[in-house]
Amino acid sequence: MKMKFIEEKIFNVLMVLATLVVFGFFASIVWTIVRSGFPTLTWEMITSLPGGGFYLGKEGGILNAIVGSLLIVFFSASLGLLISIPIVFYINVYLRKKSKLGYFTRLSFDVLYGIPSIVYGAFAFTIMIFFGLKTSLLGGIIVITLLIIPIFVRSMDEVAKSVPKDLLDAAYSLGATKLETCKIVIRQIMPGIATATLLSIGRAIGDSAGVLFTAGFTDNIPTSFNQPAATLPLSVFFQLSSPIPEVRERAYAAALLLTIIVLILSVGARLITNRFSKHRIQ
Amino acid sequence: MADNIRKRIFLDRLSKRVMLTLTIFSLLILVFMGGGLYYKSAEILRENSLWTMLTSSVWSPFNGEFGFWSFIISSIYVTLLAVIIALPISLLTALFLTENTKPWVRRVVFPVLDILAGIPSVIYGLWGILIIVPWIADELGPRFVDYTSGYTLLAGGIVLSVMIIPLLVSLFVEIFSTVPKEIKDASASLGATAWQTSRKVVLRKSTPGIIAAVVLAVSKAFGETMAVLMVCGNMVEIPRSLFDSAYPLPALIANNYGEMLSLPKYESALMFAALLLFAIILIFNAISRIVLQKVEERFKL
């Protein structure tokens, strides 16, 4: 047999192996989290606040972290949408295709997307000091909003770019202003908006380095924007560094909960991209 | 009627202004970020020379000595290690997905990559602590060194490599699919096997894209914080082997956030670390994004 066929065989095997390795990592991560988290994930953990001596292994739950994460995610996703939809409209409807401003905006969002969350955290921390804010729910919302705007803009822009120009021209020819044309664009990019929202929520709920500086940590549910807020990832992180086995086991349970949420969001995003395209014109 | 039109035009102009303002403002975030971090690290830059801070490895905040070298080199080592592990796996997987496979494989592998990309870094860190660290401490380490805690450079590299594989594979798949089918067919018609075509045509054609993707992955690995913080050991020393602990820059910032208020100079030093991270990643990202855009445009039909 010729050398090239042997080489071919070897590399075919290697390619399958590489893919299996990726699968292996995935299976190992999911299996580890489920196996260690499942036994300790109880209803009480999800529905109660940390009791006295919680960090010594006494009873209580992580409701503070769950609610804190949800509050931060809810407010920053809404703010993020409000800020990024106009930007996407502007670079796709108001600007010409070859516009320099559009090019730089897209490039800067690509770059912002790559900036690590710890840098966002440090930056937001300097803003907070500048305005005299302490670690608080508001701080967490600011940093997460900044963090997810690039995700929103990039994934919505990806869909908005593919809206056919003829469709816009048809709207203009009927006398619509550019703002009114945006109403047509928004129908076209609806699935994009939904996917972008789920992606952003996934990233927002899993982020820990950003909120470390800014949201702080607390055993209570914040009742105003000035109070610190706990978050799920940080709850995992802090409990994990405890020397007490019971506390560490609860960290595993919190990790399982976080993983389940992220899994649902990720699967949901994929389903939406595939199905939720009712008004779409190809 | 005329009123109505005036109102519509007014609304259109108003919203254009608002949108333009938001767009310009978003462009300025990068400037503010760099400026804010520079402003905060100005104090330390005034008192210590930039060169000493970058090249000295003496770290004793209470004596006012801030040498970042051991953190910088830790970051570089961990990142390099992650890329060395992830690159062959991602290249082979991406080739497998684009060149010779049935549709059902893609339908299974892509969601898996999606999920891997979405898993929070704390979860990767936890996985590292439960699986990789004990494996290094009990199985792998004793074969090479007398003792290792498992919280090592190697653990950081492995965990980071798993974190960048989804990014690399999805970029590679995109890049490979821009190679025109005609030249692949031409290669096959000359008697090349599928692998020869992959190696000599697809990989060669996509070299600029591959490099850009790797640079992007490098900058992601360089800035990753929580997972490496959890598995690297965090001892201020220059790692001498894979089984020594490492202390990358992001971990330094995250680990000391609580203490930094007590010493103003310390805070300034940590902000300088953040500025360093920001500058490196900004440059890497901008270059690789520009290259990737060029690659995409070149092959667009």
Q: How far apart are CA A122 and CA B254, in angstroms?
A: 9
| Range(s) of the domain holding residue B229 | 50-299
| Residue in the block written with tokens 């047999």 | A1
| Contact residues for A254 (Cβ-Cβ < 8 A; gap 6+) | A37, A45, A62, A65, A232, A235, A236, A239
Q: B244 and B262: one domain?
A: yes
| Residue in the block written with tokens 């966002």 | A120
| Residue in the block written with tokens 């310390």 | B266
In Å, how far are A94, A177, A186, B18, B237 from B9, measured between CA atoms? 14, 7, 20, 14, 65
**CA torsion angle for B61, B67, B69, B72 (degrees, to 10)?**
50
Q: B158 and B254: one domain?
A: yes
ipTM: 0.89
Q: B7 and B98: one domain?
A: no
The answer to whether B279 and B187 have CB atoms below 8 angstroms apart is: no
Q: B216 and B191: one domain?
A: yes
* Beta carbons of A19 and B118 less than 8 Å apart: no
| Beta-bridge partners for B65 | B60
Q: B217 and B292: one domain?
A: yes
Express as a percent the part of chain A with pLDDT over 90: 28
Q: B31 and B89: one domain?
A: no
Q: pLDDT tens across B125-180, in order?
A: 999 999 999 998 888 888 888 888 888 999 999 999 999 999 999 999 988 888 88
- Give the closest of B32, B225, B271 to A117, CB-based: B225
Chain A nearest CA to B124, separation (Å):
8
Chain A nearest CA to B145, separation (Å):
26
Segments of chain A with pLDDT less than 70: 1, 52-53, 57, 275-282
The answer to whether A255 and A101 have CB atoms below 8 angstroms apart is: no
From B138, B174, B226, select the one nearest A232 (Cα to Cα).
Answer: B226
Residue A31 sits at the chain B interface (C-beta within 8 Å): no
Q: How confident is the model at residue B258 (pLDDT cuts 50, 70, 90)?
A: low
**How high is the pLDDT of residue A177?**
86
The CATH number of the domain holding residue B217 is: 1.10.3720.10
**How high is the pLDDT of residue B129?**
93
Q: B42 and B57: one domain?
A: no
Please give the interface size between A and B, counted as residue pairs whose CB atoms are below 8 Å apart: 250
Query: Six-digit token pair at A219?
Result: 């055993």
The answer to whether A252 and A91 have CB atoms below 8 angstroms apart is: no
Query: Six-digit token pair at B59?
Result: 């770290």
The answer to whether A200 and A151 have CB atoms below 8 angstroms apart is: yes
| Contact residues for B48 (Cβ-Cβ < 8 A; gap 6+) | B64, B66
With a cut of 50, say whether residue B301 has pLDDT above it: no
Q: B224 and B153: one domain?
A: yes
Query: Six-digit token pair at A207?
Result: 């982020």
Alpha helices in B119-232, H assignment, sequence order: 121-127, 133-135, 141-144, 153-176, 181-189, 194-197, 204-205, 207-223, 226-231
Q: pLDDT tens across B29-63, in order?
A: 999 999 999 998 888 888 878 888 888 878 877 77
Q: How far apart are CA A63 and CA A91, in angstroms?
A: 41
* Beta carbons of A105 and B27 less than 8 Å apart: yes
Q: CA angle, corner B263, sides to B262 and B266, nearest 5?
A: 130
Q: pLDDT tens across A215-238, in order?
A: 888 888 888 888 888 889 998 988
Q: B227 and B270: one domain?
A: yes
Q: B32 and B176: one domain?
A: no
HSE (side-chain half, CA atoms, 13 Å) at B207: 5
Q: B58 and B39: one domain?
A: no
| Contact residues for B21 (Cβ-Cβ < 8 A; gap 6+) | none
- Give the closest of B123, B195, B289 to A7, CB-based: B195
How many domains, in total, are found in chain B? 2
The backbone torsions φ and ψ at residue A44, rounded to the nearest 5 degrees and listed phi first, read -60, -40
DSSP symbol at B59: E
From B136, B86, B90, select the one nearest B246 (Cα to Cα).
Answer: B136
Q: How far apart are CA B97 and CA A19, in angstroms?
A: 9
Q: pLDDT tens across B184-230, in order?
A: 888 888 888 888 888 888 888 888 889 889 988 998 999 888 899 89
Longest dimension (CA), chain A: 76
The answer to whether A53 and A119 have CB atoms below 8 angstroms apart is: no
Q: How far apart are CA B72 and CA B53, in angstroms?
A: 10
The answer to whether B193 and A5 have CB atoms below 8 angstroms apart is: yes
Strands (E) located in B6-148:
59-60, 65-66
Q: B109 and B192: one domain?
A: yes
Chain B nearest CA to A227, separation (Å):
17
Residue A44 sits at the chain B interface (C-beta within 8 Å): no
Q: How far apart are CA A270 and CA A173, in angstroms?
A: 36
Alpha helices in A162-275, H assignment, sequence order: 165-173, 178-188, 190-206, 209-214, 232-240, 245-275
Q: pLDDT tens across A60-102, in order?
A: 778 888 899 999 999 999 999 999 999 999 988 888 878 888 8
Burial of A174 (0-12, 13-18, 19+ CB in 10 A): exposed
- Give the closest of A203, A233, A270 to B122, CB-based: A233
* Beta carbons of A32 and B127 less than 8 Å apart: yes
Query: Six-digit token pair at B148?
Result: 């290792």
Query: Six-digit token pair at B228?
Result: 């490496």
Residue A269 sits at the chain B interface (C-beta within 8 Å): yes
Question: What HEC string does B177-203 produce?
Answer: CCCCHHHHHHHHHCCCCHHHHHHHHHH
Radius of gyration of chain A (CA): 23
- Contact residues, A window 156-215, toward B, CB-based 8 Å cutoff: 177-180, 199, 202-203, 205-209, 212-213
Q: pLDDT tens across B52-100, in order?
A: 888 887 887 777 788 888 899 999 999 999 999 999 999 999 999 987 6
Q: CA angle, corner A78, sides to A76 and A81, nearest 5?
A: 105
* Beta carbons of A107 and B290 less than 8 Å apart: yes
| Contact residues for B208 (Cβ-Cβ < 8 A; gap 6+) | B291, B294, B295
Query: Six-digit token pair at A80?
Result: 């993020």
